[in-house]
């Protein structure tokens, strides 16, 4: 299939954009929580929280991109709804699904602090639509023909 290479490039760009936005939201989180008061601990905290956020975002965006994003992509081609706005709306849907899943596990296993849940939710609501927009910009499904 000729489109599979471009779809993989789009998936990779979406994952990388989600990871980058996750690192940026981690930087904002550290600035709000730690501030610039402790210059010595600031960089270590930023690198630790940022790398954890990137790792979690990389894994979750890859899984959600394959399990939810690709079926949504083929469905959108089939129903001929391939605008950027439709893809950004799909990104919000994926973000809400991811937040629901994390909150569900938090209720039963108490994995995160409440501030971490807020940080994850904000990162997901920014990262998932940005990732779907990056996927759309690389793949350009609006120029594909339904099969």
Query: Which pLDDT does position 84 carry in this prediction?
Result: 93
The CA distance from 111 to 90, in Å, is: 27
pLDDT of residue 97: 92
pLDDT of 103: 86
The pLDDT averaged over each successive group of 10 residues in the chain (147 residues) is: 82 92 86 70 79 88 91 90 93 92 83 76 90 93 77
Q: What are the residue ranges of helices labelled H in the chain?
A: 4-33, 39-64, 70-79, 84-109, 114-139
């Amino acid at each position: 299939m000729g489109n599979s290479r471009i779809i993989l490039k789009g998936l990779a760009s979406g994952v990388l954009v989600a990871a980058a936005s996750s690192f940026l939201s981690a930087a904002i989180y550290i600035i709000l929580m730690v501030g610039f008061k402790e210059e010595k601990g600031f960089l270590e905290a930023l690198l630790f929280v940022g790398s954890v956020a990137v790792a979690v975002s990389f894994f979750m965006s890859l899984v959600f991109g394959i399990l939810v994003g690709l079926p949504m992509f083929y469905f959108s081609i089939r129903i001929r709804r391939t605008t950027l706005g439709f893809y950004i709306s799909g990104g919000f849907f994926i973000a809400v699904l991811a937040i629901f899943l994390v909150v569900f596990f938090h209720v039963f296993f108490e994995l995160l602090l409440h501030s971490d849940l807020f940080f994850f939710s904000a990162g997901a609501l920014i990262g998932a639509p940005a990732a779907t927009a990056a996927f759309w910009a690389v793949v350009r499904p609006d120029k594909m023909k339904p099969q």
